[in-house]
Structure 1
Amino acid sequence: MVELTPSSARAVPEPEHVVSAMAPAFRMLRAGLHIVMLVCAGIAFAAGVGLSKTPGQTHHGWLGMAGVVLFVAGWAGGAIQVERGKVHENTAATVAGLSLMGAAWMLAASQILEASYLVFPFFFALLFLLGMKLGTVAVAAATACAIFFVSLHIGFSFAVVIGPVLGASVSIMIGWALRAVAYQAAMRESLLQRLLDTERELTVSQREAGVQAERARLAGEIHDGVSQSLSSIQMLLHAAERGLPTDDEHRKTKEYIVMARSAAEDAQTETRGMLRRMAPAALSDETLTGALERLADVGAGPAVVVMSDDPPLTMSQQSALLRIAQGAVGNARQHSQAHRVLVSLEHDDATATLTISDDGVGFSPSKAPEGTPGRGHFGLALMRERAQQLGGELVVDARPGQGTRISVRIPLEAGASQGGGQNGAGQASNTGEEEL
């Protein structure tokens, strides 16, 4: 009849896919309670059988046995519904079911002295199905009824009072203790589920980071190798075309050169498309500034303000800076408790600087070394690694209570295009004189 599981703690729902280590203990407690109820019911029923054979007490015996049978039937029906998850704490149906069981118990206890013992398992049903507050009131009322019925049979005395009162007190203490254990078990399982979810998210994130890093590496190699070679081929062919005389004797050679230039241009166009497809999704169709502004618009938490002068960056630089910004803004939203986050992207003749600052609670870098879990410090190590791969550096300025400022400075590369996205991949001219 009583559902003694961690789900009794309503404030913290039990995770669906995590099996509680406490579940076997609760099942044993529930089984033990059923056994106690059956033993008490058996004693009362046996007493009723004997009473029904006593001259002048027959009707008391039969009425008492009827009450015991109804109580056991109510308990069994409630236990089945609890196992099916159809009984919920302190609902109208639960109160009605307990009221009927209480009436059956009072019928049995008024006729058979031994039926009064059924009040002890009934205490636990009241406590766990009505909630501890209302259940405690119901236990007090049941205790008073038990004292009254026992007094009807053997007369009122101190011993008659102390037995039910002690039983009720012990039941209430056990009930509160089990509630506390159930709550702690549910809390632990909730934290475990969150840990498992975080581990899955970290695995997906690391896989995605690995994919993007490999794409960026391949894009850089293609840009610095194949694309530059194609640009050089177009430039040389264009120079050869201009150096040829315009007479009929060299007309066929000039046509071959034009065909070769066209083939190289087509190959370079395909290469640019490949580089665009290798770029992060946020950079596929927009500049780095646009991707940062879209990052500011997505997600809850502090307001994110973006300031940028669109430095000339290669696609690999844009991809890395976007990942760094995503990580820093994500950390600020999750940990900083800030009201405002500022993302600025600026450049001079030689370098580009990305800065993410917030007005949150800050932290002490010396007390939370990079590479340790929590507060995003493992993410800081990844950001620093990305900056170093670009030949730059990352600086973290953070103090408890004074916010956090992350700055990334990288050198500009010759031939980088202004903006990002499709433009950032570079647009070679038909003559091949502009690099990808």
Structure 2
Amino acid sequence: MNSAAPALTPTTRALAWCLHLLIIGLLALTAGRAVTDDRPHAGWITAASAVCGLVYAVGPTLPCVRRSRRAAALWLAAVSACWLVLLALSSDAVWVAFPLYFLQLHLLSRRLGPAAVAATAAAAIAGFAAHQHSFSPAMAIGPALGAAVAVAVVWGYQALYRESEHRRQLIEELTATRADLAAAQHTAGVLAERDRLAREIHDTLAQGLSSIQLLLRAAERALPQAPQNAARYVDQARQAAVDNLAEARRFVAALTPPTLEGTTLADALERLCTTTSARHRLTARFHPTGTPTPLATAHEVALLRIAQSALANTVRHAEATTAEVTLSYLDDRVALDVVDDGRGFDPALLPAPDPETGGFGLAAMRARAHALGGTLTIESAPGRGTALAAQLPLIQTTETEPEARP
């Protein structure tokens, strides 16, 4: 009915119509009994009932009554005044007090509503007693009990409405939170997938292209004096391109790396060392230790990629002559160590990764190890070579597990 009132729902709208019909029906009953019983002042009673009904019917149609608590209170005062006039003319008007209770509790504040109900109940009792020319406690029971029931019903409804609104707000907050969480998870998934793709591109395509570049440079230098060596370098570059193309295709199809298909991690690492030794001026040797244990595909791919990236860094930057790759199966973990006799570097002075100059290798290796609950450490110093150690928790499995594959 006003700005302070709860928004109408189908249920509350139906209750409002029931209240309208009840008031109009009681007014019609009062006028009808006055006419049929040929009571004194029947004409006045009928006119008062009509005026009261008209004033009541006009209120809900006025926008100011629906929007302003003050206008609604004035309209309610006009209806109450008409009812008091009708009560003074007919004792039957006492029944109209019951729907008035609900109207007052609905339109007035929580403090004024019960006071208006009490005043209406007192007026109903006094008016009925005046028409009966006597008073007894039984006359007060009906209006008082009706007032108590109205207060209990309205307050109970308001409590239920507040609880319902609270639950609705909680549901909206929960829905919004779930939407935010879903968006955050999506963003995190996108970022994780982007990081995975960056690592795979760096460890496969970028390293392969770098190897091809080094081989072609070697062929270019050897071409004037030793064409046969240049042809060998070109052939090795061609084979590297073939291998890189196979990696790219498996990368697109999200399959296991070709070097791990139908073989073990140890065999793949040994072939990696052999290929690196054949293509570059570096002697790479592989050493397995411990009792081999089946690893999850995620662990095998991570260790292979770390070894590939470490050897690629050795070829490009270390100026080393030998590199030792060791795969160790320990009690509760598997370890990969790559040690070279190159020029070394100061790990604290590494430049930040740059799209032009690179520098993503160590970060990618460390991210791979951390993603599987492992660690990656680097020990190096200028002129003393480099030792890289990756350790992953040993999870024995014979099944292929989902992971961030190429």
Q: TM-score, normalised by structure 1?
A: 0.47
Residue of structure 1 equivalent to 2:31: 45
- CA, structure 1 residues 141+63, in 2 after alignment: closer, same or farther (shift >3 Å)? same
Equivalent residue in structure 1 for 2:54, among 59, 62, 70: 70
- In our comparison, the structure showing a higher alpha carbon Rg is 2
SS at match of 2:66: coil
Residue of structure 2 equivalent to 1:363: none
Q: Tell me how far 1:135 sits from its aligned partner.
A: 0.7
- Asked if 1:138 is matched to 2:138, the reply is no
8 Å Cα contact 1:70-1:104 kept in structure 2: no
User: Equivalents in 2 of 1:200, 1:225: separation in Å?
Assistant: 37
8 Å Cα contact 2:3-2:69 kept in structure 1: no
SS at match of 1:411: strand
Instruction: Give the letter for the 1:135 counterpart.
Output: G
- Deviations 1:326-358 (Å, cap 9, x if unpaired)? xxxxxxxxxxxxxxxxxxxxxx959xxxxxxxx
User: Equivalents in 1 of 2:31, 2:124: separation in Å?
Assistant: 17
Q: Structure 2: any 5+ residue segments left out of the alignment?
A: 242-305, 307-345, 349-364, 380-406
Residue of structure 2 equivalent to 1:106: 84
Number of aligned positions between the proteins: 249
Instruction: Give the letter for the 2:23 counterpart.
Output: M
Instruction: Give the letter for the 1:198 counterpart.
Output: T
8 Å Cα contact 2:5-2:107 kept in structure 1: no
- CA, structure 1 residues 50+392, in 2 after alignment: closer, same or farther (shift >3 Å)? same
Equivalent residue in structure 1 for 2:156, among 140, 153, 177: 177
SS at match of 1:101: helix
User: Equivalents in 2 of 1:48, 1:215: separation in Å?
Assistant: 87
8 Å Cα contact 1:4-1:27 kept in structure 2: no
- CA, structure 1 residues 409+126, in 2 after alignment: closer, same or farther (shift >3 Å)? farther
8 Å Cα contact 1:48-1:62 kept in structure 2: yes
Residue of structure 2 equivalent to 1:344: none
User: Equivalents in 1 of 2:375, 2:31: separation in Å?
Assistant: 87
The answer to which structure, 1 or 2, has the higher relative contact order (CA under 8 A, 6+ apart) is 1
Equivalent residue in structure 2 for 1:120, among 59, 78, 98: 98
Q: Kindly, what percent of the aligned residue pairs are identical?
A: 33
Residue of structure 1 equivalent to 2:212: 233
User: Equivalents in 1 of 2:17, 2:42: separation in Å?
Assistant: 34
- Asked if 1:392 is matched to 2:376, the reply is no
User: Equivalents in 2 of 1:180, 1:108: separation in Å?
Assistant: 34
Q: What is the correspondence of 1:31-430 to structure 2 with a 5 Å cutoff?
A: 31-50=17-36, 54=39, 57-74=41-58, 77-78=59-60, 87=66, 91-158=69-136, 159-245=138-224, 390-392=368-370, 410-411=375-376
8 Å Cα contact 1:66-1:108 kept in structure 2: no
Q: TM-score, normalised by structure 2?
A: 0.51
Instruction: Give the letter for the 1:187 counterpart.
Output: H
User: Equivalents in 2 of 1:106, 1:205: separation in Å?
Assistant: 64
Instruction: Give the letter for the 1:47 counterpart.
Output: R
Q: Which sits farther off after the overlay, 123-132 or 40-49?
A: 40-49
User: Equivalents in 1 of 2:28, 2:4: separation in Å?
Assistant: 24
User: Equivalents in 2 of 1:413, 1:130: separation in Å?
Assistant: 77
User: Equivalents in 2 of 1:236, 1:388: separation in Å?
Assistant: 28
Residue of structure 2 equivalent to 1:405: none
User: Equivalents in 2 of 1:63, 1:141: separation in Å?
Assistant: 25
8 Å Cα contact 1:44-1:65 kept in structure 2: yes
- CA, structure 1 residues 181+388, in 2 after alignment: closer, same or farther (shift >3 Å)? farther
Q: Tell me how far 1:38 sits from its aligned partner.
A: 3.3
SS at match of 2:369: coil
Q: Which sits farther off after the overlay, 36-45 or 123-132?
A: 36-45
- CA, structure 1 residues 147+154, in 2 after alignment: closer, same or farther (shift >3 Å)? same
Q: Tell me how far 1:393 sits from its aligned partner.
A: 7.6
- CA, structure 1 residues 73+85, in 2 after alignment: closer, same or farther (shift >3 Å)? closer
